[in-house]
Amino acid sequence: MVILVHRLNIMPTTQKLRNRLLKKLLKLFQLDDEKWKVRLIEEEFMKRMWEVEG
């Protein structure tokens, strides 16, 4: 399983705060962080979000 996380303006700006938020999310959803990968995909997300088909 892969969780895709997009860093929005409302997300904490430091890596330490992002890590804390991630751990809280994993705990909230009762996920074992050893078995999950997290990828920050801001660049790819923005590229695909604003693509226009046709």
List the domain boundaries for the chain: 2-49
Which tens digits make up the pLDDT trace of 7-52? 555 555 677 777 787 778 777 777 665 555 555 566 667 777 777 7
The number of beta carbons lying within 10 Å of the beta carbon of residue 16 is 8
Instruction: Confirm whether pTM is higher than 0.85.
Output: no
More reliable by pLDDT, 53 or 33: 53
- Which has the higher per-residue pLDDT, 21 or 3? 21
Look at residue 50 and give its three-state secondary structure. coil
Q: Does 29 or 4 have the greater pLDDT score?
A: 29
Residues 6+ apart with CB under 8 A from 33: 22, 23, 26
Q: What is the pLDDT of residue 26?
A: 72
